Structure 1
């Protein structure tokens, strides 16, 4: 039996890019690599290094999921000064077929195809009815969520940038927090409190409330809390 051709897949966040090879629909776990975006000028440099370290395998297709809006096949990352288009992806991988998705869209299409050992129940609840709508939520350097709908014509994952929606304010303390984080770009968005960078702003706010200095990075805050980074 002829082996399925290799494909390159990548998940591009605001801080890190993870790259791997897949054979057909099977990800090759030993091929997974993580790269710090700050060390590279753009995605092309990351992919060329990955392929070089992997022995320059021939890949028939390349698909990347980017943490930012994708319009007309071009991704602009929300929290990183990178722009990704199909020509650059083909040039850096040599793949004849390329695709660029928003990262939450990619995760939405993955629902139902994830091995049970890679899933963990956070809150027990009723089992969803077949064909019920679902929601994917991504919390990293930024924040986003996207609805997932299974229709008779196939799965639809609507692109979303809901992290930029206004932060809900229901109490005087919420208002004080909103006013504190709004200094970043003039308004308080959901991403300003529910994300890696949001963690930094909430920490600074609560430290100021307590009368202590609070200017730590998200990584430092996580390390100090004893949680895995």
Structure 2
């Protein structure tokens, strides 16, 4: 039973084949979304390169809300439908879900060696867990262990308002706000967000400048505004 699986982000899409519950590591391919018209274009290329295998089922996880077999990417103008995936893959067994929800359902399948502890703490079997995704955008999902299995909450956490608790946070929210005056969480907590935090810090220091996340991380030891941007990122995440 060969299945087609895909992880669709705002910048890249990863596609692979699975046999039963096991991913086939040598089949993983990554595609730049900017090089393709939509997901069906990506899957068509992948299946052709894979030798047109017979697919028994397909599952796709996307960085955006999913309702009734239809999803929309938050940071890319792509709309994805289960019916379209079925046409390309040749199987009627298709499931579309939010990417953080997919990660939440996969937590118990992770091998211990796949985990890197950040902070030591006591194990709490059955406790609620939180999955956080930081990339082109931001999202989080709570994972609850219930007698009948896992329940994973789906929410576009990156689209909520950036919290404001003091004058500095208000300054940041006003700097990041769009034309509608709304500053979303992912405008700060994301790949692009770290660069925006640097822009805010440098403007506040009277030395306006613009850079990206990689440049910020490379300048932590030499640029006080880069360090302030990184510290603000971590504080907001906490």
The alignment's TM-score, normalised by the length of structure 2, stands at 0.87
| CA distance in structure 1 between the partners assigned to 2:54 and 2:214 by the alignment | 36
2:59 to 63, 84, 104: 63
| Mapping of residues 141-220 of structure 1, within 5 Å | 141-183=136-178, 185-218=180-213
Deviation at 1:96, TM superposition (A): 2.7
Residues 221 and 55 of structure 1, relative CA distance in 2, 3 Å threshold:
farther
CA distance in 1, matches of 2:51, 2:203: 51
RMSD: 1.7
SS at match of 1:56: coil
SS state at 1:132 partner: coil
* Whole-angstrom CA distance in 1 between matches of 2:78 and 2:195: 23
Cα displacement string for residues 132-153 of structure 1 (whole angstroms, at most 9, x for unaligned residues):
2111111111111111111122
Structure 1 CA distance for aligned equivalents of residues 111 and 218 of structure 2? 29
SS at match of 1:46: helix
How far off is 1:20 after superposition?
Answer: 0.7
CA distance in structure 1 between the partners assigned to 2:109 and 2:33 by the alignment: 28
How far apart are the structure 2 equivalents of 1:108 and 1:184? 34
Note the residue ranges of structure 1 that are not aligned, 5 or more in a row: none
How much does 1:194 deviate?
Answer: 0.6
Give SS of 2:203's match.
helix
- 1:95 CA displacement: 2.1
The 10-residue stretch of structure 1 (212-221 or 45-54) with the greater mean CA deviation from structure 2: 212-221
Counterpart Cα distance in 2 of 1:18 and 1:225:
31
